[in-house]
């Protein structure tokens, strides 16, 4: 059996729609259809500049997804290691993991981006670090700390009886954790991981300060060339909204499928 789920940090990601929450589901459809309708209306009524802006953004969307996917992959690995460290009986491992969480969560992501790309750039080992790589590393380190708390809370929500039962069957600690505890904890972990993924995608707009050509950077480039600042940033905001809403729906679908398979 699982204990009552403990509180898990879920960042500032979008609310994940649920089949049981009709109000939230309706809000999702209103937001999605409304944003899509506004984009279509603007492109039809004023193709110059709105359609031109939309044509200018695709490569920025690709870069945004690259940064987000690479960062979340590394953050999940760091988060799992950190979460295990926070629960470890090894005092040194626990202290290192806890210190990492406290330090990283106490420094703004924007500062971490500047520090890794500019401050560490004075050392030869980091001097040739590409902006995209620096952005991915900074975001992975930042979100790895939050993911660590997500994993810690998810693992901690599993009843100790599951561990005792696995050990009585001859499983070692590694087998117990990865074959028994984590598969059960994933149901608790998935929603906040999905929220962190969405929050990371939105925070990826900060990488534009490193000259990474993401959605925001491409919007700024278009605005600086055409002086259509209102139009450019309106379209950038709508594109971010559409992407965020689609991802929140995808996470909701995965969560529903996971619950379905567990019930059956």
Q: Give mean pLDDT, residues 227-248.
A: 95
For the chain, domain boundaries? 22-263
Phi, psi of 2, rounded to the nearest 5 degrees: -105, 145
CATH number of 22-263: 1.10.3720.10
Statement: residue 249 has pLDDT above 80: yes
Digit-coded pLDDT (tens) for 202-227: 999 999 999 899 999 999 999 999 99
**Out of 68-82, 171-185, 250-264, which region has the weakest mean confidence (pLDDT)?**
250-264
Q: Are 232 and 223 in contact (CB under 8 A)?
A: yes
pLDDT at 168 (0 to 100): 85
Taking every pair of Cα atoms in the chain, the longest distance, rounded to a whole number of angstroms, is 70
How far apart are the C-alpha atoms of 246 and 234, rounded to whole Å?
A: 19
Model-level pTM? 0.85
Query: Cα–Cα distance between 153 and 6 in angstroms, integer?
Result: 6
Q: What is the pLDDT of residues 76-99, one digit of tens each?
A: 999 999 999 999 989 999 999 999
């Amino acid at each position: 059996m699982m204990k009552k789920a403990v509180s898990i940090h879920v960042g500032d990601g979008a609310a994940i729609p649920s089949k049981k929450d009709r109000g939230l589901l309706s809000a999702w459809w209103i937001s999605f259809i409304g944003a899509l309708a506004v984009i279509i209306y603007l492109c039809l009524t004023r193709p110059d500049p709105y359609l031109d802006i939309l044509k200018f953004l695709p490569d920025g969307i690709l870069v945004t997804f690259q940064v987000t996917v690479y960062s979340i992959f590394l953050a999940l690995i760091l988060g799992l290691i950190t979460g295990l460290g926070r629960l470890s009986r090894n005092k040194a491992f626990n202290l290192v993991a806890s210190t990492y969480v406290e330090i990283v969560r106490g420094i703004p992501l924007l500062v971490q981006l500047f520090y890794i790309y500019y401050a560490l750039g004075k050392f030869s080992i980091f001097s040739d670090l590409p902006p995209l790589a620096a952005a991915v590393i900074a975001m992975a380190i930042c979100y790895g700390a939050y993911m660590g708390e997500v994993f810690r809370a998810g693992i901690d929500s599993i009843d100790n009886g599951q561990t005792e039962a696995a050990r009585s069957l001859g499983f070692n600690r590694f087998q117990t954790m990865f074959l028994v505890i984590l598969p059960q904890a994933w149901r608790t972990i998935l929603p906040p991981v999905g929220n962190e993924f969405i929050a990371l995608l939105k925070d990826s707009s900060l990488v534009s300060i490193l000259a990474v050509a993401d959605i925001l950077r491409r919007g700024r480039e278009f605005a600086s060339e055409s002086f259509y600042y209102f139009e450019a940033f309106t379209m950038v905001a709508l594109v971010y909204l559409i992407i965020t809403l689609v991802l929140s729906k995808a996470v909701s679908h995965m969560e529903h499928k996971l619950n379905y398979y567990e019930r059956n």
